[in-house]
Amino acid sequence: MNHKIAPLYDALCIYERKQTVSLHVPGHKDGQAFDQQASRHFREILKIDATEVNGLDDLHHPTEAIAEAQRLAADAFGAEQTYFLVGGSTAGNLAAALTVCQPGDRILVQRNAHKSVFNGLLLAGAHPIFIAPEVEPETDVATGIEPSHLRKALQQYPDVKAVWITNPNYYGMGINVTKLVDVCHQAGIPLLVDEAHGAHLGQVANVPCSALEAGADLVVQSTHKMLTAMTMASMLHVQGPLIPRERLAAILAMVQSSSPSYPLMASLDVARRYLIMQGREQLANTVVMLEKQREQLAERLQCLSIWTDKGTTYSRDPLKWVLTSRHSPVTGYQLLAWLEDMGCVAEMADTKNVVLVFAIHNSEDQVKRTVQAIQALDAKLQQLPVVEKQKNDGSILLTEPGQLIEPAISLQEAFHQKKKQVPLAEAIGKYSAEMVIPYPPGIPLLAPGEKITETHITAIQQIKAAGGYFQGASDEGMEKMFILVNP
Ligand SMILES: Cc1ncc(COP(=O)(O)O)c(C=O)c1O
* Per-residue pLDDT tens digits for 386-424: 776 555 544 555 578 999 999 888 999 999 999 999 999
Helix, strand, coil content of the chain in percent (nearest 5): 40, 15, 45
Contacting residues for 378 by C-beta, under 8 A, at least 6 apart: 300, 301, 302, 303, 304
Q: What are phi and psi of 129, to 5 degrees?
A: -105, 115
Which ligand 1 atom is at minimum distance from the Cα of 234?
10
The reply to whether ligand 1 has any atom less than 6 angstroms from the CB of 442 is yes
* Residue among 64, 30, 34 nearest 46 (CA): 30
Ligand 1 proximity of 88 Cβ (cutoff 6 Å)? yes
Q: Is the distance from the beta carbon of residue 221 to the nearest atom of ligand 1 less than 6 Å?
A: no
Q: From ligand 1's centre to the CA of 90, what distance in Å?
A: 6
Ligand 1 atom nearest residue 113's Cα:
1
Residues 152-196: tens digit of each pLDDT: 999 999 999 999 999 999 999 999 999 999 999 999 999 999 999
How many Å lie between the centroid of ligand 1 and the Cα of residue 222? 7
Determine phi and psi for 478, rounding to 5 degrees: 55, 40
Between the CA of 486 and the centroid of ligand 1 the distance, in Å, is 33
196 lines ligand 1 (CB under 6 A): yes
Cβ contacts of 31 within 8 Å, gap of 6 or more:
39, 42, 43, 46, 47, 49
Atom of ligand 1 nearest to the CA of 169: 1
Which of the listed residues 83, 93, 114 should we mutate to test ligand 1's pocket, taking the one with most ligand atoms within 8 A of CB?
114
Asked whether 138 and 192 are in contact (CB, 8 A), the reply is no
Supply the residue whose CA is at minimum distance from atom 1 of ligand 1: 114
Confidence of residue 203 (pLDDT cuts 50, 70, 90): very high
* Tens-digit pLDDT profile for residues 122-159: 999 999 999 999 999 999 899 999 999 999 999 999 99
Give distance in angstroms: CA of 483 to centre of ligand 1. Answer: 27
pLDDT of residue 157: 98
Q: In the predicted model, what is the mean pLDDT of residues 38-52? A: 97
| Threshold 0.85, pTM exceeds | yes
> Would the CB of 116 count as within 6 Å of ligand 1?
yes
Over the stretch 458-467, which tens digit does the pLDDT of each residue have? Answer: 989 888 888 8
Is the pLDDT at 471 greater than 90, yes or no? no
67-95 pLDDT, tens digit each: 999 999 999 999 999 999 999 999 999 99
* Residue 169 CB less than 6 A away from ligand 1: no
Contacts of 202 (CB under 8 A, 6+ apart): 77, 78, 208, 209, 210, 212, 213
The Å distance, Cα 230 to ligand 1 centre, comes to 14
What is the overall mean pLDDT for the chain?
A: 94
Is any ligand 1 atom within 6 A of the Cβ of residue 444?
no
Residue type, 361: H
Instruction: Report the separation in Å between the CA atom of 336 and the middle of ligand 1, taken as the mean of its atom positions.
Output: 20
- Separation of CA 114 and ligand 1 centre (Å): 6
Name the amino acid, one letter, at 381. L
| DSSP code per residue over 424-485 | HHHHTTSBB-S-B-EETTT--SB-TTPBP-HHHHHHHHHHHHHT-EETT-SSTTSSEEEEES
Helices (H) and strands (E) in the chain, counts: 17, 20
Residue 337 pLDDT more than 50? yes
Quickly count: other Cβ atoms within 10 Å of residue 209's Cβ. 18
Per-residue confidence (pLDDT) for residue 213, from 0 to 100:
98
97 C-alpha to center of ligand 1: Å? 15
Q: How far does the centroid of ligand 1 lie from the alpha carbon of residue 58, in Å?
A: 25
Kindly state if the Cβ of 120 falls inside 6 Å of ligand 1: no
Rounded to an integer, the average pLDDT of 7-15 is: 98
Pocket probe mutation, ligand 1, options 119, 222, 224, max atoms within 8 Å of Cβ:
222
Are 86 and 261 in contact by the 8 Å Cβ rule? The answer is: yes
Residue type, 423: P
Q: Is the CB of 222 under 6 A from ligand 1?
A: yes
Atom nearest to 92 CA in ligand 1: 11
Distance CA 257, CA 254 (A): 8
Please state, in angstroms and rounded to a whole number, the distance separating the CA atoms of residues 201 and 212.
Answer: 10
Ligand 1 pocket: which of 84, 85, 86, 89 to mutate (most atoms within 8 A of CB) = 89
Q: Is the CB of 92 within 6 Å of ligand 1?
A: no
The 10 Å CB-count burial string (b at 16+, else e) for 77-108 is bbbebbbbbbbbbbbbbbbbbbbbbeeebbbb
Distance from residue 18's CA to the centre of ligand 1 (Å): 38
Q: How far is the CA of 303 from the centre of ligand 1 (A)?
A: 31
For ligand 1, whether the C-beta of 286 sits within 6 Å is no
Query: Three-state DSSP class for 406?
Result: coil
Q: What is the pLDDT of residue 342?
A: 96
